[in-house]
Amino acid sequence: GEDVEQSPFLSVREGDSSVINCTYTDSSSTYLYWYKQEPGAGLQLLTYIFSNMDMKQDQRLTVLLNKKDKHLSLRIADTQTGDSAIYFCAETMNSGYSTLTFGKGTMLLVSP
């Protein structure tokens, strides 16, 4: 079945770049998403990429998609302490339906 895998934890220093990685198995996925979850809060959609794109940049965020390897990454430039949160990778199970399949999340800890 479909599966989305993420490393559970990443620690960086303030000002460094963070790279959060994700692998997925469903080759028919159409959109891939990154969500951010801060403590006690719901999920905030950070960015997304369509499956026919290789890269998308949005201010400090860069998403890279390697469709051949089914690998997605989120790079956060100039990471700030306010970026500390859990980041979830998600994909749509199929294009017409849009139910999301989530990874278990990567906890990003940014130290001063």
Chain contacts with other proteins (rule: CB under 8 A) = 4, 35, 40-45, 48, 88, 90, 92, 95-105
Q: In whole angstroms, how close is the CB of 100 to other proteins at the nearest point? A: 7
Closest distance between other proteins and the C-beta of residue 106, in Å? Answer: 11
Q: Which residues contact 76 (CB under 8 A, 6 or more apart)?
A: 17, 18, 19, 20, 60, 61, 83, 108
CB nearer to other proteins: give 41 or 52: 41
Q: How far is the CB of 31 from other proteins (least distance, A)?
A: 8
Burial of 105 (0-12, 13-18, 19+ CB in 10 A): buried
